Amino acid sequence: MITLWGRDSSINVQKVMWCLDELGLAHERKDAGGAFGYPADYAAMNPNPLVPTLEEDGFTLWESNVIVRYLCAKHAAGTLYPEDLRVRADAERWMDWQTTNATAAMRDVFWNLVRLKPEERDAAATAKSTEASESKARILDAHLATRPYMAGDTFTMADIPIGLHLNRWYLLPIERPDLPHARAYCERVRARPGAKTVMALPLT
């Protein structure tokens, strides 16, 4: 039995929710983090503490993109988890880029416009982050001009974190340029059954 710990408002939890639905895996999700707090024994599973954490038959795993890789390797080798080493490395590169580059660029604009009260907002940080997140979206738009999905012609594990990142960018209350390839890609992945639930959630 698979148990996913984490609140559904977390984009990192949403990655695993989408992956589990994409793979058709039965699971139970338990709210944790944010307003829900953590159970007393949570640190034994995840010492950070952060969400998500996955439990499966006595095995625990944290770090959202690693969980997605694990599930895809176990249940979708050759499809979501590419067999070709170079294609798989390409997919993993974009997954890591989402964590280390794209998320960092968007953090301040998201926090200021979504999670902070108007009187608490930092206008300069918001403007800087808006510009930085647009630059990352332009990188994606250029990449997606040559392929329908992040690693090529088919949907892979890379499209889960990237799809959610772009979806969040499009939901932010900001002005943005028309990036046709990024927009078409976002519409493409939003149509997937596994994505519909998480991408319909409001930003909180």
Domains (range + CATH), the chain: 2-75 (3.40.30.10), 85-194 (1.20.1050.10)
In Å, the largest CA–CA distance within the chain is: 51
Residue 152: predicted pLDDT: 98
Q: What is the Cα–Cα distance from 109 to 127, expressed in whole angstroms?
A: 7
Neighbours of 86 (CB within 10 A): 9
Which pLDDT belongs to residue 127?
Answer: 98
State which residues of the chain have pLDDT below 50.
none
The neighbour count for residue 64, using CB atoms within 10 Å, is 28
Tokens of 99: 């964590």
Place of tokens 């038959």: 57
Residues 90, 109, 51, 46: is their CA dihedral positive or negative?
positive
Distances (CA, A) of 83 to 94, 159, 163: 17, 16, 21
Query: H-type helices in the chain, by residue range?
Result: 11-23, 42-45, 64-75, 85-97, 103-110, 123-144, 159-171, 180-190, 193-199
Strand, helix or coil at 84? coil
pLDDT at residue 74 in the model: 98
Tokens representing residue 117 in the block: 């009260």
pLDDT digits (tens, 9 = 90+) for 123-181: 999 999 999 999 999 999 999 999 999 999 999 999 999 999 999 999 999 999 999 99
pLDDT at 110: 98
